[in-house]
Amino acid sequence: MKCPYCSNVESKVVDKRNNDTDSTIRRRRECLKCEKRYTTYERIETDLMIIKKDERREPYNREKLKIGIQKSCEKRPINQEQIEKMIDDIENVLREQSTAEIKSNLIGQLVMKYLKKLDKVAFVRFASVYKEFDDPEDFIKTIRDVK
């Protein structure tokens, strides 16, 4: 991020806000050199690649993740804000990884970790889709683990 006034690249973030409609992060930044403030709109999808189970790669997509979580949370007492917060937390964990290439099962595990705390029904729904249980025993075991 370059300062539009003096082109200095060092800045500090003074305010951060997520934009729900197009999954951009709006940041107010203050240039460390000229101390002027400016706004940046950043998309995190562009820097993260997801490696799927079959080794295919695709850019991280917040919307896609959100839809998957929303499906699991249908008719559950979970509001949109909680889902956004969960995805923010997950994205923070993803950004802390040493690589920009993220295995898809890491995301699945993170979602399950958060849903487990938030709502058991949503957790089991998500787990049953995500884990694609072949064996009914595995499914029963997962449900048992929740309790």
Q: Where does this chain bind Zn ion (CB under 5 A)?
A: 3, 5-6, 8, 31, 33-34
Q: Provide, rounded to whole angstroms, the least separation between the CB of residue 40 and Zn ion.
A: 13
Q: Which two tokens stand for residue 136?
A: 């009914």
Query: What 3-state class would DSSP assign to 45?
Result: helix
The distance of closest approach from Cβ of residue 121 to Zn ion in the complex, given in angstroms and rounded to an integer, is: 50
Encode 85-106: b = buried (16+ Cβ within 10 Å), e = exposed.
ebbeebbeebeeeeeeebebee
**Closest CB to Zn ion among residues 8, 82:** 8
CB closer to Zn ion, 13 vs 34? 34
Closer to Zn ion at the Cβ: 31 or 107?
31
Nearest to Zn ion of 33, 71 (CB atom): 33
90: Cβ contacts below 8 Å, ≥ 6 apart: 65, 107, 110, 111, 114
**In the complex, what is the shortest distance from the CB of residue 17 to Zn ion, in angstroms, rounded to a whole number?**
21
Q: What are phi and psi of 96, to 5 degrees?
A: -80, -10
Cα-to-chain-centroid distance, residue 133: 24
Q: How far is the CB of 31 from Zn ion (least distance, A)?
A: 3
Cβ closest to Zn ion, residue 11 vs residue 72: 11
CA distance 66 to 87: 7
